[in-house]
A and B are shown apart, each in its own frame.
Chain A
Amino acid sequence: MPTIGLGPHGERPFSADLLILTDAEAELARAGRFSAAIVLHTTTSDWSRQELAGIIATLGQYGATVSEIVDCGFDKDKQNRELLRLAAAATDAVISLPIGSSGVLEAHRAVGRAGKKLVLLDNAPSGLRPGLDYLAVSSADNFGLGAIAAELISPYAPYEGVVGILNYEAEFFVTNEREIALRKWMGAERPDLTLVRERFGRVEDAGAAYRRLLAGNDDLDCCFIAWDMPALRVLAAIREGARSLPLVTVDLGNDVVGELRNEGPLKGVAAQRPYDQGAAAAKALLLGVIGRTPPAWLSATGLKVTRDNFREAYEAVWHAPAPP
């Protein structure tokens, strides 16, 4: 499936799989012995572990080191503090996943102004300028992931049924793109359906948000959840007695694979390829520190995963054999 989403500033996508360093560029990168810090929203999810693995392996391949890895625990204030600290630290570059938009804009801008190269994961706060404040954004095709999720959940909604959307806060580019694409696909292919939405501000609150969605819509037929960590909270809520509905989410973490294998409420996953996205982010960073301009929007196409193909998909996503 081709990438169909545009970048945060409307950039046409450059395939994450096609980004390379020429031999001369690789030599320059190795000679520079660069260092980079990584700032993530969380380091505890499988997605984060895979993204980190892709970044670290690729930087290592070109002689660069990771000076530190910061886990912000989804806390914008902590991300702001850490970025401002890193702006003054002895590191050549920072790879960061912005938690939201306007709330973390200035701290990200400070990194670029301090002369450090900045590569973003997933999301660019509105107001941050490509090529000036940051080098590139490396991401999944989140618009494509939303369309995949819509295709996966559609069979579980009867004619004139009701589909729930459980989404994160309103200013988060990545999850917004997924919801917009899901709505667009439904509008074109299933205009008979009604879509209802509930939001959660913290992953831990996803179970409660699911219960609110159920309480407000007793005719709900199925539900899309923006990514796997909140989906696991919803599955926990179902095990604790909340009504069980067919669920679809994004990201193929280990626990999600277990849920697919067990034939529970989780029916499908639109999978990112975080290892490849991390590798592309690292290459963009290396190009930046040697003075090249990488494409501003690096995008990796997603995979449609059901219990029929989760083993093959796992191997493509994790670059490792699927668990037995």
Chain B
Amino acid sequence: MDEETRRRRPGAAPRRRRVGRPKTLESGGPSLAAILSLVRAGPLTRLDIERKSELGRAAVANRLSVLERLGLVEESELGRPQGGRAPHHVRLRANAGVVLVAHVDRMSLAVGIADLAGNLIVEHHEAADLALGPEPTLDRLTTLFYWLLDERGGKEAAWSIAVALPEAALVDANDGDTFGIATLNVLRAWRAFDFAAELSLRFGAPAFARSNTQMATLGEMKAGAGLGVEDLVCVRIDRSVSAGVVSGRRLHPGAHGLAGLVGHAPTGEAGDVPCHCGAKGCLDAVASAEAVERAALLAAADGRSRYLADVMARYGDVTANDVGHGAQLGDAFCAELLSRSGRLIGESMAPIVNLLNPAVVALAGALAHSGEILLAAFREAIYRRSHPLATRDLRIVRSQLAGSAELVGAASHAADQVFASARGWVPLGSPRREPSFLAFLAEAKTRQRRSSAAEPLPPTKPL
């Protein structure tokens, strides 16, 4: 970073410009961001950059030298020679900073660290209980993030944070009561809690939150079942059933970021247990992992499944995961339970296949990875209930990233968000110094002081 950048302080009154040509750092934000965006898509020669950016040779050389000085690009391998010496490629310096990612679910949390290209480097998953509320979860994520950053440049190295949260945790406290799913008791405390803003305050980096399903869908697009396709539906079968939709390579988040709550589709099954929304027979109430678990507990207790009864006797509990294991080991009850779940979800998703005509439908979530039975039943129901033209070339597969899909998607999302605002921060060298973000932080801090909550500090002792 040059002297000009270093001297500039956020919030300081703009100084009167000196006489003469404006400096690149003062006026070149858009072209610097444009070149950064080009090399982010893949290494390019200087000639390629001139062609794609429509800038002259001198301007490109100037911008690249600024970007190199800021540590944002570097020369890589040699390109193909075109009549002379082989030209060097220029690429994004993916380790100029890191991206922190997290995935919070009802029974577990996961953290990871990724480079600026959105490639996950390290990940860790552990059991957790969201019923404890958002603050303990935030504290645990903070501890794990500091641990990940410890040997990678500390807090300053974090350029962006993305977190995948359960859908109900993203519903605004004021709007939540009008929407059935937000009545989940466990997640009630999460609704008034701005998780992303709290992370920004703790790490001084822009933070973004999206639903678990949408992050998983982004992950599949980046590195899994959606690689190379334009239209994808990702169905996540977990405590509830939800879907992420990508159309023309763009994720459809919905007006409130809650698109895809298909778990409340009626199935026609009676079902004794009401759904969270109060109705009976919703997909969530009869086919989700929670519903499967409920049926498994009953079968373990009344002896309809010998395998589940054994698990119950040994561990004192039965989970949906055990149903998958039981089916793999040949237990007829477990196999039938998964088959029913796959059939009901497939029948509910068939109209969506007709509506969107995706190239790929990917099944994600713990239950989707329980073996072939659920997938086969889902596939059969989709083919039976969808229009033949919509299923002619349709591929129905399991998620290829399994439990890492949300982290991979979060890494991709965080990197995308950072570079989407590059125009504002490139001349300053890091999105941590972007003026509008600093203004947001200042406002959030003021708000926090007003609500008399003490500002959280990094843990000095192991938590």
Contact = CB atoms under 8 A, between A and B. Distances in A.
Contacts of B103: 10
Contacts of A101: 121-122
A129 B325 contact: no
B223 interface: yes
Contacts of A8: 123, 125
Contacts, number: 106
Most buried by A among B223, B328, B330: B328
Interface string B443-463: 000000000000000000111
A7 B403 contact: yes
Contacts of A187: 143, 461-463
A292 B127 contact: no
B126 interface: yes
B409 interface: no
Give the residue among A10, A20, A143, A292 with the most B Cβ atoms within 10 A. A10
Contacts of A4: 127
Contact of A20 (B126, B319, B329, B400): B329
Interface string A1-35: 01011111111101000101010000000000000
Given A2-B315, A180-B126, A127 B461 contact: no
B175 interface: no
Contacts of A126: 112, 120-123, 404
A6 B223 contact: no
B62 interface: no
Interface string B372-399: 1000000000000000000000000010
Among B123, B404, B461, B462, residue most surrounded by chain A Cβ atoms (within 10 Å): B462
Contacts of A129: 224, 400-402
Interface in B246-261: none
A7 B125 contact: yes
Give the bracket for the number of chain B residues in contact with chain A: 35 or more
Contact of B401 (A9, A191, A194): A9
B371 interface: yes
A176 interface: yes
Contact of B404 (A5, A9, A12): A9
A76 to B, nearest CB: 15
A290 interface: no
A204 B97 CA distance: 32
A11 B329 contact: no
Contact of B144 (A5, A143, A180): A180
A180 B124 contact: yes
A131 B401 CA distance: 9
A69 interface: no
Contact of A6 (B125, B147, B372, B400): B125
A36 B151 CA distance: 38
Contacts of A12: 319, 321, 366
Interface in B108-132: 108, 110, 112, 119-127
B127 A6 contact: yes
A177 B121 CA distance: 15
B369 interface: yes
A6 B119 CA distance: 21
B403 A10 contact: yes
Q: Counting chain A CB atoms within 10 Å of each CB, which of B110, B329, B366 scores highest?
A: B329
B317 to A, nearest CB: 10
A18 to B, nearest CB: 8
A43 B7 CA distance: 57
Interface in A130-174: 130-132, 143, 170-171
A184 to B, nearest CB: 8
Contacts of B108: 6, 10
Contacts of B144: 180
A70 interface: no
A225 interface: no
B126 A295 contact: no
A232 to B, nearest CB: 25
A11 B126 CA distance: 10
Contacts of B403: 6-7, 9-11
A293 interface: yes
Nearest to A197: B150
B122 A127 contact: no
Interface of B: 103, 108, 110, 112, 119-127, 143-144, 147, 151-152, 223-224, 315, 319, 321, 324-325, 328-330, 366, 369, 371-372, 398, 400-404, 461-463
29 contacts: A4-B127, A6-B108, A6-B126, A6-B127, A8-B123, A8-B125, A9-B404, A10-B103, A10-B402, A11-B403, A14-B325, A101-B121, A129-B402, A131-B398, A132-B400, A171-B122, A176-B124, A180-B124, A183-B462, A184-B462, A184-B463, A187-B463, A194-B461, A194-B462, A292-B328, A293-B372, A294-B328, A296-B369, A296-B402
The 7 closest A-B pairs by CB, nearest first: A10-B403, A10-B125, A187-B463, A9-B403, A6-B125, A12-B321, A9-B404
